[in-house]
Amino acid sequence: MPLQKAPRGTVMRDVAKLAGVSHQTVSRVLNEHPNVRPETRLRVLEAMRSLNYRRNLAARTLVTRRSNTLGIIGFETTLFGPASMLYGIESAAREAGYLVSIATVRNLERADVLSAVDRLAQHAVDGIIAIAPKTAVTSALMQAPTDLFCVAVGGAGDSESVPTVRMDNAEGACLATQHLLDLGHATVHHAAGPGDWPEAHERTEGWRRTLYAAGAVVPPVHPQWWDAASGYEQGRAMAADPAVTAIFCANDRIALGVLRALHEAGRKVPEEVSVVGFDDMPDSGFFLPPLTTVSQNFGELGRRSLALLLEHMNRPSDAETVDHVIVPPTLVHRASTAPPPPPR
Amino acid sequence: MPLQKAPRGTVMRDVAKLAGVSHQTVSRVLNEHPNVRPETRLRVLEAMRSLNYRRNLAARTLVTRRSNTLGIIGFETTLFGPASMLYGIESAAREAGYLVSIATVRNLERADVLSAVDRLAQHAVDGIIAIAPKTAVTSALMQAPTDLFCVAVGGAGDSESVPTVRMDNAEGACLATQHLLDLGHATVHHAAGPGDWPEAHERTEGWRRTLYAAGAVVPPVHPQWWDAASGYEQGRAMAADPAVTAIFCANDRIALGVLRALHEAGRKVPEEVSVVGFDDMPDSGFFLPPLTTVSQNFGELGRRSLALLLEHMNRPSDAETVDHVIVPPTLVHRASTAPPPPPR
DNA sequence: ATCTCAATTGTGAACGCTAACAGCCCCCAG
DNA sequence: CTGGGGGCTGTTAGCGTTCACAATTGAGAT
Residue B266: left if φ>0, alpha if ψ -120 to 50, beta else—which one? Answer: left
Q: Provide the CATH number for the domain formed by A12-55 in this structure.
A: 1.10.260.40
Q: Does the domain spanning A66-165+298-325 belong to CATH 3.30.70.100? A: no
Residues 6+ apart with CB under 8 A from B70: B89, B93, B98, B99, B100, B101, B125, B126, B127, B128, B129, B306, B309
Position A3 scores a pLDDT of 40
CA distance A198 to chain B (A): 23
A54:B118 CB<8 A = yes
Residue A102 sits at the chain B interface (C-beta within 8 Å): yes
- Angle between helix axes A80-95 and A298-313 (nearest 10 degrees) is 40
Which strands make up the sheet holding B274-279, listed edge to edge? B189-191, B246-249, B274-279, B292-295, B330-332
Q: Which helix (H) or strand (E) holds A45?
A: helix A38-51
Identity of the residue numbered A106? R
Q: How many CB pairs under 8 A join A and B?
A: 182
A57:B124 CB<8 A = yes
Q: Provide the CATH number for the domain formed by B169-296 in this structure.
A: 3.40.50.2300
What percent of chain A stands above pLDDT 70?
A: 94
- Evaluate if residue A138 carries a pLDDT over 90: no
Instruction: Give the largest Cα separation in chain A, rounded.
Output: 94
Residue B122 sits at the chain A interface (C-beta within 8 Å): yes
Position B144 scores a pLDDT of 73
Position A141 scores a pLDDT of 78
pLDDT tier, A34 (very low <50, low <70, confident <90, very high otherwise): confident
Position A298 scores a pLDDT of 87
In 3D space, the residue among A166, A139, A168 whose CA is nearest the CA of residue A154 turns out to be: A166
Q: Does the domain spanning B66-167+298-326 belong to CATH 3.40.50.300? A: no
Nearest CA in chain B to A92: B104
In 3D space, the residue among B282, B222, B280, B291 whose CA is nearest the CA of residue B256 turns out to be: B291
B282:A59 CB<8 A = no
Position B142 scores a pLDDT of 76
Position B5 scores a pLDDT of 44
Position A320 scores a pLDDT of 64
In 3D space, the residue among A181, A162, A165 whose CA is nearest the CA of residue A173 turns out to be: A181
The pLDDT of A143-169, averaged and rounded, is 80
Would you say the C-beta of B17 is within 7 Å of strand D?
no
User: Any idea how long chain A is?
Assistant: 344
**pLDDT per residue as tens digits for the range A71-110:** 999 988 988 888 999 999 999 999 999 999 999 998 777 8
Would you say the C-beta of B25 is within 7 Å of strand D?
yes
- Evaluate if residue A257 carries a pLDDT over 90: yes
Give the integer Cα–Cα distance in Å for B155 and B137: 9
**A117 or A248, which is more confident:** A248
Nearest CA in chain A to B148: A6
Neighbours of A265 (CB within 10 A): 15
Q: Is A276 helix (H, G, I), strand (E, B) or coil?
A: strand
Give the integer Cα–Cα distance in Å for B68 and A171: 44
Alpha-carbon distances, residue B38 vs A201, B26, B32, B52, B298 (angstroms):
51, 13, 11, 21, 44
Residues of chain B falling short of pLDDT 50: 1-6
B80, B82, B86, B89: CA torsion to nearest 10: 110
B3 contacts on A by Cβ (under 8 Å):
66, 313-314
Pairing of strands B99-105, B69-75: parallel
Position A210 scores a pLDDT of 97
Give the integer Cα–Cα distance in Å for A84 and A91: 11
The pLDDT of A267-282, averaged and rounded, is 96
In 3D space, the residue among A292, A286, A252, A250 whose CA is nearest the CA of residue A270 turns out to be: A292
Write down the mean pLDDT value for chain A: 89
- Evaluate if residue A133 carries a pLDDT over 90: no
Instruction: Judge if the upstream peptide bond of residue A340 is cis by omega within 30 degrees of 0.
Output: no
Alpha-carbon distances, residue A149 vs A145, A146, B4, B20, B68 (angstroms):
9, 8, 12, 34, 23
CA angle B93, B95, B99 (to 5 degrees): 40
Nearest CA in chain A to B9: A147
B122 contacts on A by Cβ (under 8 Å):
54-55, 57
**pLDDT per residue as tens digits for the range B172-212:** 999 999 999 999 999 999 999 999 888 899 999 999 999 99
Position B7 scores a pLDDT of 54
Give the integer Cα–Cα distance in Å for A25 and B131: 39
Position B61 scores a pLDDT of 94
Position A7 scores a pLDDT of 54
Position A1 scores a pLDDT of 35
Bridge partner residues of A275 (DSSP)? A247
Residue of B5, B62, B288 with shortest CB distance to A62: B62
Position B157 scores a pLDDT of 59
pLDDT tier, A159 (very low <50, low <70, confident <90, very high otherwise): low
Residue A319 sits at the chain B interface (C-beta within 8 Å): no
Alpha-carbon distances, residue A154 vs A78, A129, A209, A324, B130 (angstroms):
15, 10, 21, 11, 28
Give the integer Cα–Cα distance in Å for A206 and A174: 5
Position A144 scores a pLDDT of 73
- Is-contact B87 B97, C-beta < 8 A? no
CA distance A209 to chain B (A): 30
Q: Is A141 helix (H, G, I), strand (E, B) or coil?
A: helix
Position B8 scores a pLDDT of 63
Nucleotides of C under 7 A from a protein CB: 7-12, 14-20
Neighbours of A130 (CB within 10 A): 29
Q: Which of A14-18, A34-38, B264-268 has the lowest mean pLDDT?
A: A34-38
B9 contacts on A by Cβ (under 8 Å):
145, 147
Structure letter (DSSP) for residue A66: -
Give the integer Cα–Cα distance in Å for A190 and B83: 29
CA distance A5 to chain B (A): 7
Position A312 scores a pLDDT of 85
Residue B84 sits at the chain A interface (C-beta within 8 Å): yes
Position B4 scores a pLDDT of 41
pLDDT tier, A2 (very low <50, low <70, confident <90, very high otherwise): very low
Give the integer Cα–Cα distance in Å for B264 and B251: 20
User: What residues does each domain of chain B span?
Assistant: 12-55, 66-167+298-326, 169-296
A58:B78 CB<8 A = no
Is there a common fold for B12-55 and B169-296? no
Which strands make up the sheet holding A274-279, listed edge to edge? A189-191, A246-249, A274-279, A292-295, A330-332
